[in-house]
Structure 1
């Protein structure tokens, strides 16, 4: 299979310093609204990169569930590989790949656990099937067959057939507090527009244009 000639031109938009919001969170929210308005599949999907004790990076796609002045929030099984790695080494990188818009956002930050109250509030807002799946799956652990997983799900569904599904003790969330955020807009001739926001000691943000 020959793939070295696969390429396309990036011509949808340009990004200029004077058009950027001085607050990267506000700028991110503008781009996220664009991604949602464009009806992109999974506009809140982000790649979460963590590192294990041996320095081996790992990545997975996770859905962003909240964004605000403090940062970016997602939820997960606390026994999962990502949760284990982020607990040991909270340095994390998030990547939002909005390919149809020829845009990317990369977030560099520190992950911290969110409060039990916040976790419970979000968990209870989830569809019941998603709540049951959280109970049924020992995320990142080996499972013999898919049938075994479905059997566990059926057992959990029967157990909580009546009434609310309680919050599992092993389920939680992480807030990623950013210290750098990069915005990438594809450009003609591979001369892409890249801007890096860097957080300063006084909590303001500096902005640098980067070479593509």
Structure 2
């Protein structure tokens, strides 16, 4: 009887360690992502004034539109937070509702970013116009790619939660990792908004 009790306790311990290791490993991944974005910010700092006779950020960037993008992404971070609260309470339907809202906000952000890129390219201010624009498109585009990956990840998790019909520990671990990723992208975007857009129009 004692042996049976011990054998039942061991898997729970392993599950706890597995979840902790997964989250820790994801933190390590985020640190490598920090290095990538830090490198792109450094490139923009060097190339940010290399206009090659082309348009400057002051003549191209429309701060109200970018501020709208920023507000949408920050709001999506809040809605994701509400979703995580629901997940920890085991409220699957509420979680899915908040994930749906977060997903729509993320899609709206990407839509605005694609619109901005298309307008700039139509004006002849594409990434091949100058070093400044190459650095801009690379940095902002890399962030947009990350948001897109986050949206795909979010959709997959939502489908898995619906399929399971009940939240599992593995679902919570995956949602926690996605939450870290999504909030990280918000922080990076605040840096982009401040360092790239605001400093370029001053």
Structure label with greater radius of gyration = 2
Q: Which structure ranks higher in relative contact order (CA pairs < 8 Å, sequence separation ≥ 6)?
A: 2
Give the TM-score normalised by structure 1. 0.21
Q: Which has the higher helix share?
A: 2
